[in-house]
Amino acid sequence: MALIKTPKADLRGKYKRFFEISLIISLALLIVAFKYFPHIKPAKVDIQAPQELFKVEDIQSTKQENRPPPPPKPPIPVEAPSEDVLNDINIGSTELNMNENVAPPPPPKEESKTSEEPTYFVAVEEMPEPIGGIEAIQSKIIYPEIAKRAGIEGKVYVKAFVDEQGNVTKVELVKGIGAGCDEAAEKAVKETRFKPGKQRGKAVKVQVMIPVVFKLK
């Protein structure tokens, strides 16, 4: 069953009238308050507090020290009149005499021909090998007495430069152990004959690394 509100029971229609009545009442109360209570004085509050005395100290005035004057500017150099007067220079004649006999220039000095150091290959098809193997080099080693007493052992690496005939032209120490072992290894390699290295079937100069072992029995 649906509920139907009657116009008298509907309060929303009376909101506007209630609002106007309440606004008129509030304005009337405000006018009455301003008319009968125009002055409202606040109560006086006495605050008594002890006075504090401040002592003012005398401040000494500082004196500004006089700065030293800036250094004088360097004088500008002025060219002094010179009493020396250059003499007149006589320039000779620049005309060429075609009939004059001129001596030929001296022949150039021949540059001294320096002997070029031969080139040694580092790697070739057939590397040089000591005749008799590494054992041939080890057999020529004379163990130094100092190294024996000190108990020094190890490997000495010597670079040998072998020519086309298999002879060692020079040696270089690459890594040594000292105590006379380096010199003994260089001497043994220098006295060893090698099978020459070959490149495309032709004997060439080659440098090769030789390890020499020092070991006490």
- 66-108 tens-digit pLDDT: 777 777 777 776 665 555 555 655 655 666 566 666 667 777 7
CA distance 42 to 84: 110
Q: What global pTM score does this model have? A: 0.45
C-alpha to C-alpha distance for 158 and 133, rounded to whole angstroms: 15
Q: Over the range 62-73, which residues count as b (16 or more CB within 10 Å of their CB) and which as e?
A: eeeeeeeeeeee
Give the Cα-Cα-Cα angle 133, 139, 145 (nearest 5 degrees).
145
How far apart are the two ends of the chain, measured CA to CA in Å?
129
Amino acid in the structure at residue 179: A
147-175 pLDDT, tens digit per residue, is 888 888 888 898 989 898 888 888 888 88
**What is the predicted pLDDT for the residue at 126?**
86
pLDDT the model gives residue 179? 83
Question: Three-state DSSP class for 157?
Answer: strand
Q: Could you give the domains of the chain?
A: 129-214 (3.30.2420.10)
